[in-house]
Structure formats: C-alpha cells, structure tokens
Chains A and B, each alone.
Chain A
Amino acid sequence: MPSLRTRGFTHYRWQTGMAAWMLHRITGLALVFYITLHVWVVSSLQLGPQTFEATMAVVSAPFFRFLEVGLLFCVIYHALNGIRLIAIDFFGATEKHVLLFYSLGVLGAAVWVWGGSIMVTHAVHDLHMGVPFFPF
C-alpha cells in the first residue's frame, strides 16, 4: 500500500461526502487560527479605549475586510456542514446527505454573498476615503 505521501490526494475518493469532510476540516483549522488571533486582539479592551480603537483601526483596514470575506466563508461552511452532520448522526439523514449538502450549499452561498457584500462595501468605502489597503 503506497503511503499518503507518495500518492498525495489521489489516495482519497473524491465524492461529495469526502469533499464535505475535508472542507470541514480545513475550515475548522482556519477558524482555530482565527479564534486565537481574535481573543488576543479583543483583549486590548483591557488597555482602554485609545488602545482598543487603534487596534480596531488596524484590523478593520481594507486588507482585513477582504480576509473577513474568507473568514465568513469558513464560518458559514463549518456551521452549515455541522448542522448537516447532526442531521446525519441524530435524525437519520444519511441517505439524503448529498441533497442536504447541495441545499445547504445554496443557502450558505446566499448568506455569504449577502454578508460578504456588506464587508466589501465597507472596504471599498474606506479605500475611497483614502484609507490605505494595508494597515502596516
């Protein structure tokens, strides 16, 4: 049996359930990275209003607003696929798991476009106001 390292991703069977599982894992790890930064950034609340708002000015620069669109994707995907997993594990939705994946996919895409467009609008507005793209 060739190892994962030599066969790479051809080791996997790329079907809906497999792709859903892998995306769940990747978005989950991205969210772990984010929550670490998030708790740290928000802890600047303890240092008073000036420090907090200076920190917020950095993390709400257009660069981070665009990253936030990616974050929103991770949050929406991980939440909706998590609901799908609960439906499969507790409510007997195993046979409908593909239908569920695509239905939730449509719902998630709609929420992502809506939420993402708000974030992009902020970024574009800030860029017009002369806020630099990168805060550093």
Chain B
Amino acid sequence: MKLLKQFGTGSGGAQAWIWQRISGLVLVVALFLHYMYLHFLNNGLVTFEGVSARLVTPLWKTIDLTFLAAALFHASIGVILNIHDYVHRPVLRVTLVSLTWTIAVILLITGIATVVTFQPV
C-alpha cells in the first residue's frame, strides 16, 4: 500500500505543475504554426502533396516531433491530474495512471513512426 501511495497523493505535484507550464508554452507556439500552415494559409485543404512538402524537411520533422512529444506529455499530465482529483481507490488509481502512460507511449511511437518513416511519392 505504501508503494501504491507514491503513485498518487504521495507526490506533491510540483514537478507536474512546472512541466505543465513549460510544455504548455511550447504548445502555444507549435499550435500557432500548426494552425496557420494547415488551416489558414493553404486553403484549408490537407493533401498528401502538401504534407510531403513540409515533412521532407528536417526542420518540419523536428517541429512536428517536438509538438507531438510536448502534446502527449502535456495531455498525460493533465489526465493524471484528473485521476488524482477524482479517483481515490489506490489500486484503480494506479491502474488508470499506468494505462494513461501506456496509451501515451503507444501514441508517441505511432506518431514518431509516421513522421520518421514518411516516404514522399
């Protein structure tokens, strides 16, 4: 039970708090670029060709990977904050927190694979 507690209320949340603010700032910048390029500058049409033009450049790969990692990290911390607020049974809490990180890692791998293995035609 003591071990379980470390996953929950055992930590004060200061780490989560500061990282949420840092990743949040990264996301504000990344989202601005993302929206401008994908929705408002290109007629709002997302085509394979259009994506290719961006995704073949190392700079855009880097921006997209940073965006992906920051977004998934931010989302995970946010979900875990909600779990800590509303789920009080230790076993269920640990299960949900573990599930959150697992899904985040699966999405991260999926996203990295999409960006890194991208082949323009």
Contacts and interface: CB of A to CB of B under 8 A. Distances in A.
B11 interface: no
Nearest to A4: B86
A28 B28 CA distance: 14
B107 interface: yes
Nearest to B85: A25
Interface string B11-38: 0000000000100110110010001000
B121 interface: yes
Interface string B38-78: 01100011111101000100000000000010011001001
Given A25-B82, A35-B72, A36-B107, A46 B113 contact: yes
Contacts of A83: 28
A53 B110 contact: no
A32 B28 contact: no
Contacts of A56: 46-47
A89 interface: yes
Contact of A46 (B27, B44, B117): B117
Given A31-B75, A32-B75, A118-B39, A48 B121 contact: yes
Contacts of B110: 39-40, 43
B98 interface: no
Contacts of A82: 21, 24, 27-28
Given A53-B48, A60-B46, A75-B31, A85 B21 contact: yes
Interface residues of A, number: 31
Given A56-B47, A83-B28, A35 B71 contact: yes
Contacts of B24: 82, 85-86
Given A46-B114, A52-B48, A32 B21 contact: no
Interface in B102-121: 103, 107, 110-111, 113-114, 117-118, 121
A109 interface: no
A118 B41 CA distance: 11
B35 A42 contact: no
B44 A122 contact: yes
Given A29-B82, A60-B45, 19 more contacts: A32-B78, A35-B71, A36-B103, A36-B107, A39-B68, A39-B114, A40-B110, A42-B111, A49-B48, A49-B49, A52-B51, A56-B47, A79-B27, A79-B28, A79-B31, A82-B27, A90-B21, A118-B44, A119-B44
